[in-house]
Copies of this chain bind each other. A is one copy, B any other.
């Protein structure tokens, strides 16, 4: 079975670990969000791709869900001694090596997709990890600071400001001009099932869908497209998805997110047990819906969710 998964960071990575356990023989292609990539200290950092790679490759810091295990912070503390910022982004020494290799390869002319493949040669994530695009896309968030409206990089909004101010708009800068990375459209066209993990519908999956051609390819693939709600009981399971949902005029409910994707894209939708009341609302929107436990407390829980998603896909197909 060929499965294509659109993934953001922590939620996507943990779901993928469950999916690998649930479908060990599946051929999984992950289309990773690169809209939250950022240049720090002259280095290209791809937080979502790395979170997927480290999580599936056994190098993730399990506690925090991102970054490397057994991490140290000598480089960061030295950069601070030089007065070189930003200091709000937590790059560890082990993590720095990844960004150094990536930046060196990009500088040598390799596209991000080739670089990601090279990095994965070490990590052996057990999936094919593709960036959504080799072109630069950078998610900016419009906010108001001291009465003045300005746009900040998504990471600045998310990590530095911890989404503490309202977002007026979320703009994937460069997405309109971006092309899907080599293999992305081919993987979608060849997929048997397409899954949207409980990743952020705006800044993760929404950004991937903003690359011209990807949304269309998914809609036209003619295979079940099943998503899992990142909203449980009217609040995001993790992160601050409600802030960016508000910016695009979508309520923070499992139903509203399903409607946001829409029946033109989504065939099936899993909501958590506490949102069982959403099932008829979602089905009314033309999307098959089921309520199951959606808390990824461990790999087994994530695997159970993946099995439910695949089962719903088969229901839709039939």
In the assembled complex, A158 has its CB within 8 A of some CB on chain B: no
- A74-97 vs B, CB cutoff 8 Å, 1 = contact: the mask equals 111011011110000000111011
- A23-57 vs B, CB cutoff 8 Å, 1 = contact: the mask equals 00000000000000000011100000000000000
Docked complex Cα distance between A97 and B93 (Å): 10
* A100 engages B75 (CB within 8 Å): yes
For A100, the closest partner residue in chain B by CB is B41
Count A-side interface residues using an 8 Å CB cutoff: 28
Known interface pairs A81-B122, A119-B82. Does A75 touch B101 (Cβ–Cβ under 8 Å)? Answer: no
- The complex is assembled from copies of this chain, and their number is 2
Docked complex Cα distance between A68 and B170 (Å): 43
Complex interface: chain B residues within 8 A of A92 (CB): 74
Docked complex Cα distance between A134 and B84 (Å): 22
In the assembled complex, A144 has its CB within 8 A of some CB on chain B: no
* A74 engages B93 (CB within 8 Å): yes
Which chain A residues numbered 109 to 139 have a C-beta less than 8 Å away from chain B?
118-119, 121-122
In the assembled complex, A61 has its CB within 8 A of some CB on chain B: no
Known interface pairs A72-B74, A74-B72. Does A79 touch B93 (Cβ–Cβ under 8 Å)? Answer: no
